Amino acid sequence: MAQAKTLTKAELKRLFDVTRSCSRYAERDLTMLQLTHYCGMRVGEVAALRIEDVVDENYKVRAEIVLAASITKSKRARRIFVPRQMHRQLQQYINTLSSTPAPNTFLFGTQKQSHFTANTAAQHLQRLYTQAAISGATSHSGRRTWLTELSSKGVGVRVLAEMAGHASIQTTQRYIDADCIVLKTDESWDEKQLLKFDVEGFQRLEKELNLFALKG
């Protein structure tokens, strides 16, 4: 089976622009897409998110999301660092909700159900890619694009594996476009990145490397 398409910056911008202008529930749909592209979340993890996972007691978006082991593919809890663009989009989406939802409410609802399942969320994201005329993209494209972007900016594969929740770096390498893999043979380089990789470390990295910018 062919791998999901990795989006270029131009394609990603078109996806967001078309979603913003054409989707009936644009803020919800943009937020779901950006969680896969800016945070590398699997579509099933996006579908399983609850309000309390992303906001504090004052309904302000956290700088870090902790995914419970029960909703991850690996069945291990995982930290998700929230980039600036994602933070703004999440807060904007939370602010559009008609009433203050209970903390344990699913973050993303549908017209007919209280929340998406992994399958219905995957189908929904596929429709958004089709709407933007991006051929070859699937619900897995966001995660693959995210890993490729980080690798192309020099983030080591062991750090990427930790962020993605992969038990093996070989799994991580299969996700990344071959042309964008930055090989690091010095293990100490990866060790140093892992040691500083907390919220503050990620924010420094994001700023220094201009991560996820759609221009430049």
Q: Is residue 127 part of a domain?
A: yes
pLDDT of residue 99: 77
Over residues 16-37, the pLDDT tens digits come to 999 999 999 999 999 999 999 9
The count of structural domains within the chain is 2
pTM over 0.95: no
Q: Is residue 198 part of a domain?
A: yes
Assess whether 120 and 145 both reside in one domain.
no
Q: What secondary structure letter does DSSP report for 67? A: E
Assess whether 104 and 52 both reside in one domain.
yes
Assess whether 122 and 160 both reside in one domain.
no
Assess whether 67 and 172 both reside in one domain.
no
Helices of type H across the chain = 9-22, 26-39, 43-48, 51-54, 84-96, 118-131, 141-152, 157-164, 169-175, 187-195, 199-209
Domain boundary at 80, 100, 131, which?
A: 131
Q: Is residue 215 part of a domain?
A: no
Between CA 24 and CA 6 the distance in angstroms is 26
pLDDT of residue 137: 96
Q: Is residue 4 part of a domain?
A: no
Between CA 46 and CA 40 the distance in angstroms is 10
Q: What does pLDDT average to in each consecutive run of 10 residues of the chain (216 residues)?
A: 86 97 96 97 96 94 93 90 94 89 92 87 97 95 92 83 87 73 47 60 72 62
pLDDT of residue 193: 56
Domain extent for 19:
9-131
pLDDT of residue 190: 52
pLDDT of residue 150: 87
Assess whether 91 and 171 both reside in one domain.
no
